Each structure stands twice: as structure tokens, then as C-alpha cells.
Amino acid sequence: MSSADIGLIGLAVMGSNLALNIAENGYTIAVHNRTASRIDDFVGMATEQGLNDKVVPEADLATFISKIKRPRSVIIMVKAGKPVDDMIEQLLPLLEEGDAILECGNSLYSDSQRRFEYLKEKGIGFLGIGVSGGEEGARHGPSIMVGGPEEQWKNAQPILEAISAKFDGEPCCAYLGEGGAGHFVKTIHNGIEYGDMQMIAEVYGIMRDGLHMAPGEAAEVFREWNKGPLNSYLIEITGHVLDAVEPKTGTPLVELILDKAGQKGTGIWSAIAAQQLGVPATAIEGAVAARSISSRKDERVAAEAVYGKPAGLGGAHVDLGDLEQALLAGKIVSYAQGFVVMAKASEEFGWNLPLATIAKIWRAGCIIRSRFLDQMSAAYAQGENTNLLMVPDFVEIMKTANGSLRKIVAVAATAELPMICLSASLAYFDSYRQALGTTNLTQGQRDFFGAHGFILTDREGEQHHDWPSTLEH
Ligand code: NBP
């Protein structure tokens, strides 16, 4: 009766595509969905693609489980949150010791940690798996970030590696640590994705509002940049988005799209995680803030009526080469921050996250895939530095590119064009490389009002000052 290599529950967009990918790779997959009509639709899709002989459809949950070979690997791809917990409760009486639930939705890493611990007590493995690449990735090769018990990862490893994206033949799939490690890394991936997208949008702002370039001209620049160090999926699709024309009006599509960005939460989760871990991630935070401010369209319209339109460049020169280098520098800072967040989380939660491997499995399949990540994984593989800003290859780039970032942020500030993310990256860089900061003053203030103490540079131990009891006016 047990004929399937793996099972999958949840045949909406992501689950269907992942199941077809598994079938195409030669594995027999049992499929189930709460609403049975979705199973029939899926079988129709699999038949159209000549994959139905690899599919074992089953509407009854207990029978579905009985059709999977032991030790079982059961993927759940249902809506994140409570549906995942509900599904786990339904599966628990049906699974046996050594079986595993592979949860592949966009779950909060702390939920995955909790589920991992809960199921461990019951002898069931819980793998929290971050899957990046959207619908297309799920079908043809996503980047797969796995967290959970190593034993059950090994059971599922051949299938997960087979269905993942490949970079130079290497699978973009890796085991990253216990508990919530996989979903944590996926969350930071999404935070970095937010940063990349926001910095691209800020550079587009200079092109549109400073240089008055038409979308098609800007698209040409992005196409050129895609041949250089910025080569990446996001730069490539930026060219396509800027080139698209709205068919009814013949207007560039981008000019008709409302400037209010949506967000589903993973960017916010990564900013919160960074704050909770005490790691600055100003680029990610800036990107989240930019989306939030974008959603307040009415307020922005009202504020522009009060303060007037941006001044514009007013004849100031902007070199496209500087714009490219500024984007590269901002991106390096943003990735540096994201990787420090992961290094800190690794230490805090005892995950031993492999930074070079993470950069490797992001080289293909996921939204932030880029040439840059190949360089980054090589750099991390060589050294111990967790901050990319101190990794030799990137030090070389930043030594020149930070000048361009500085020029662009300065010119944008004078032109009154917003750069939440790029300016945050520059401020982080300048703070990070400044040996003598200014929080000596902050420490003095803290001691004044709260007796928090300070260290004096010429002696040992915490000190206090005898401050006046009231301020004189
Ligand atoms: P949805 O997030 O829209 O969820 C729909 C699926 O959940 C259906 O199969 C539905 O069954 C099932 N479901 C729900 Br809703 N409540 C359930 C419950 N209580 N018990 C059992 N099943 C339940 O699907 P999706 O868009 O395919 O996304 C799946 C996961 O992948 C989500 O976590 C999502 O955030 C993530 N995602 C990731 C990416 C990416 O790029 N990695 C992209 C898009 C989505 P029904 O048919 O009976 O209603």
C-alpha cells in the first residue's frame, strides 16, 4: 500500500508547483488537500504535464498517510499561522515515531522553533523549511533553507536537493541547523530582498525625478548594469518592469502603477529579529519603513501641498557610474547587516549557521540571486569575519564605492529626493568605521538622569559623576 516516496498537503499555488517539481524529478508523491476539488484540479494539471503516473491523490487524510513509505516525509504547504498548527494536530495521531513533517510555508521562525520542540517530545521530526523563488521557483527549482532534526533531514535530503535550483551543478538547498534555523534564514533573505528592492527604487527615483529619464531610458541603464557587478535577478526584472507598456493606453506601465507598496510581514519580522538580537540592520529597517510610508499616500499628497515639490537636481551633475557604485555599496552594507543578524542568531540559539553555505544556496532559485552572492560565499568560505565590510574582497570594493554612495546620498539630500535605505546604509558604514564615536556624550547623559554609570578611558571599572541635582535655566 505504501507506494509514495513523499507526501504533500496543501495544493494551492505553492504546493501544486512543488508537487509537480517533485514528480518531474522522478519521485512518487502522495497529495492531499482539505478541499477535495483541489486534488482533482491538481490531477488534471499533472495529467496535462505527463506526470500523473507519479501522483497518488488521496482525499482521506489517514489513507493518504498510509500511502507514504516509512519513515515518512510529509510536506505541508498550507497558509502560514494557525492552519499549520491545526494540520499538525490532525497529523499527529496518524504519524509514527521517526516520521517527519516538512513545513514549507512562510512561517515565523519562532513558530517553527516551538513546533520543532513540541513534536520532538512526541518522537516526530519537524523540519521548518524556507522555500524562496515564488511560484516559478517552486515549479522549476527554488532555493531551500532547512531547519530541524538532522536525522529526518537526511531522509528527505535526496528529494529536496533534486527539486532545488542548481548553481554550477550544486544544489541550492542546505541543512542549516535545528529548530527555526531554516525559517530564520528565509526571513533574513526576505529582509535583504526588501533592502535590494528599496535601494533600486531609490536609484530609479534619481533617474525619474532628478535626471528626468523616461522609463525606457532607465530600463536601458538597468540592462547595462545587469552585465556588471550588480548582475542579479532583481536588476534584470527591473529592466522588464520599466520597459512594460500598459496595452490600453500605450503608457509606460510603471507610470500608471500606484506608488503604494504591499508587504506580507517577513521584512518586518527580520527588522524585529535584528532589533531583538541587538544587531543594527538599518538597510532592512529603512526598506520596511519606506514601504510603510509609501502606503500613506493621502498623507504624502497633503504634505507635498504644504512643503512643495522636491527641489530637483538644479543642474547638479549625477554620473550614472556613481549611481551604479552607490547601489553596489548600499547592497554590500545591507548584506553585511543581514549576515551579522544571522551570525548573532546562530550564537544566541545555538544553530551554528554556515554563512558561506547560506550565500551559496542563495546564488540561484531565490529572489535575491546574483553574481555578487557567488563572490560573497567565496569570501566567507575563506575567513572568519562575519561582517562583510571586513572581508578583504569587499573592503576593496567599499574603499572606492563608498565615495559614490556618499556623492549620491548628498546630491539626493540637496535635491530633496528621499533615500531612506541608501542613506541608512551610508550612515551605518560611517558609524561602523569610526573608531571614536559620540556615545561618550550619551553615556554622560544616561549617568546624569539615571545613574547608569560610564567607563573612563584612563581607568578600570564603572564610574559615576556627581551631577547637579537640577538643571539651571
Ligand atoms: P495559501 O497561503 O493561499 O493557502 C492555501 C492552502 O492552505 C490551501 O491548500 C488551503 O486548503 C490550505 N488551508 C487553509 Br487556508 N487553512 C487550512 C486548514 N485549517 N487546514 C488545512 N489546510 C488549510 O497557499 P499558497 O499561496 O500556495 O502558499 C502556501 C505557503 O507558501 C504560505 O505559507 C505562503 O506564505 C507561502 N508562500 C511562499 C512563497 C514563496 O515565494 N516562497 C510564495 C507564495 C506563498 P483549501 O484548499 O481547503 O482552502
pLDDT confidence of residue 383 = 73
Which of 58, 67, 103, 186 does the annotation list as catalytic? Answer: 186
- DSSP annotation string for 358-392: HHHHTSSSSTT-BHHHHHHHHHHHH---SSGGGSH
Residue 175, φ and ψ in degrees, nearest 5: -85, 125
Given this structure, which CATH class describes domain 187-432? mainly alpha
3-state SS, one letter per residue, for 134-190 = HHHHHHHCCEEEEECCHHHHHHHHHHHHHHCCEECCEECEEEEECCCHHHHHHHHHH
Angle at CA of residue 78, ends 75 and 82, nearest 5°: 115
What is this structure's pTM? 0.95
Q: What's the CA gap between 52 and 32, in Å, rounded?
A: 14
* 54 catalytically annotated: no
**CA dist 31 to 36, 57, 156, 412, Å?**
11, 5, 16, 53
Q: How far is CA 229 from CA 26, 196, 200, 215, in A?
A: 37, 14, 14, 22
Separation of CA 95 and ligand 1 centre (Å): 22
Task: Please check whether residue 364 is in contact with residue 141, taking contact to mean a CB–CB distance below 8 angstroms.
Answer: yes
Contact 445 CB / ligand 1 (< 6 Å): no
Helix H or strand E encompassing 15: helix 13-24
201 — phi, psi (to 5°)?
-65, -35
Number of the ligand 1 atom closest to the C-alpha atom of 16 = 27
- Residue 277 CB burial class (10 angstroms; 0-12, 13-18, ≥19): middle
Shortest-distance Cα residue to atom 41 of ligand 1: 134
Q: What are the sequence ranges of the domains in the chain?
A: 6-179, 187-432
Q: State in Å: Cα 77 to ligand 1 middle.
A: 6
Cis peptide before 158 (omega within 30 of 0): no
Cα(10) to centroid of ligand 1, in Å? 6
Q: Which of 185, 288, 293, 196 is nearest to 237 (CA)?
A: 196
Distance 126 CA to ligand 1 centre (A): 18
Class of domain 6-179: alpha beta
Q: State residue 469's pLDDT score.
A: 86
Amino acid 473: pLDDT:
57
Active site residue 220: no
Query: Residue type at 252?
Result: P
Tens-binned pLDDT, residue by residue, of the chain (473 aa): 679 999 999 999 999 999 999 999 999 999 999 999 999 999 999 999 999 999 999 999 999 999 999 999 999 999 999 999 999 999 999 999 999 999 999 999 999 999 999 999 999 999 999 999 999 999 999 999 999 999 999 999 999 999 999 999 999 999 999 999 999 999 999 999 999 999 999 999 999 999 999 999 999 999 999 999 999 999 999 999 999 999 999 999 999 999 999 888 899 999 999 999 999 999 999 999 999 999 999 999 999 999 999 999 998 999 999 999 999 999 999 999 999 999 999 999 999 999 999 999 999 999 999 988 998 999 888 877 779 999 988 999 999 999 999 999 999 999 999 999 999 999 999 999 999 999 999 999 999 999 999 999 999 999 999 999 876 65
The atom number, within ligand 1, closest to the CA of 86 reads 19
**Looking at ligand 1, which residue's alpha carbon is closest to its atom 20?**
83
Question: Could you give the CA distance from residue 198 to residue 375 in angstroms, rounded to a whole number?
Answer: 22
Cβ–Cβ under 8 Å, residues 425 and 336: no
Specify the DSSP element, H or E, that contains 192. helix 181-205
Backbone angles phi, psi at 72, to 5 degrees: -80, 145
What is the position in ligand 1's atom list of the atom closest to the CA of 142? Answer: 42
Tell whether ligand 1 has an atom less than 6 A from the beta carbon of residue 83.
yes
- For ligand 1, pick from 8, 9, 13, 78 the residue to mutate: most ligand atoms within 8 Å of CB: 78
Contact 102, 119 (CB under 8 A): no
Phi first, then psi, for residue 399 (nearest 5°) are: -60, -35
